Amino acid sequence: MKKFVFQTLIFLSLLIFSDAVKANYWLVIGTYRQGPGGRPEVSGITSPSLHTIPMKDIDTCKKAGNKITKEIYIPVWQFDNKWTCIYSGTSK
């Protein structure tokens, strides 16, 4: 579980510190907070959240969404790991 949390923090911190000024797309991704117990699952006392991460282009956005899905969220029971890329409405 510690490895999962560490990988998630590292990956998201790299994405968060990307240059938001050049962001033409936003990766919108659902997350959850781990409930009590050792099993990685969404608990009845926690709730999912949405987060947005700036991305420079659609390809980068799709690659990041797929990487998060394949390497982080698949092992979590009862979590659908949905994400999408949204155009920001401006070209830079």
Give the pLDDT score at 88: 84
**pLDDT at residue 25, rounded to an integer:** 92
What is the structure's pLDDT at 84?
92
Can you tell me whether residue 25 is helix, strand or coil?
strand
> Is the pTM value of this prediction over 0.75?
no
Tell me the torsion sign for CA atoms 44, 28, 19, 73: positive
**Residue type at position 61:** C
Residue-by-residue pLDDT tens, the chain, 92 positions? 667 776 776 666 666 665 555 678 999 987 766 666 666 666 666 667 788 889 989 999 999 999 888 887 766 666 667 889 999 886 65
Cα-atom radius of gyration of the chain, to the nearest Å?
14
> CB–CB of 56/18 below 8 Å?
yes
Residue 92's pLDDT is 55
Provide the pLDDT for residue 58.
94
